């Protein structure tokens, strides 16, 4: 199933991703640091929901209390709980 998440407090404005059988795939960020976010998307492709949440939750960006990876973890946690 495909999910769309509007980010809060980051340069990226939106994330889309799929979760099928507890596996994350097809992650795309809109806005933000293009190369870094493409790298994150490739790294999490094929991971379980729990692995992504565990690895990315709580990461900050500079002085911000969140980051694009943290927002991805929050988006996946929210989608998995639906």
Copy the structure tokens of residue 81: 């709980």
Domain, as residue range, for 69? 2-80
pLDDT at 24: 98
Q: How many domains does the structure of the chain reveal?
A: 1
Q: Element (H or E) spanning 69, and its range? A: helix 68-80
Please say whether the beta carbons of 72 and 56 come within 8 A: yes
pLDDT at 18: 98
Q: What is the pLDDT of residues 21-77, one digit of tens each?
A: 999 999 999 999 999 999 999 999 999 999 999 999 999 999 999 999 999 999 999
pLDDT at 42: 98
55 exposed, middle or buried (CB, 10 Å; 0-12, 13-18, 19+)? middle
């Amino acid at each position: 199933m495909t999910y769309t998440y509007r980010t809060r407090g980051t340069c990226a404005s939106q994330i889309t991703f799929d979760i099928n059988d507890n596996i994350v795939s097809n992650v795309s960020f809109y806005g933000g640091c293009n190369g870094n976010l493409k790298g994150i998307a490739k790294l999490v492709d094929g991971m379980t929901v729990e692995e992504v949440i565990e690895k990315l939750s709580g990461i900050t960006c500079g002085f911000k209390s969140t980051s694009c990876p943290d927002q991805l973890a929050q988006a996946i946690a929210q989608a998995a709980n639906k």
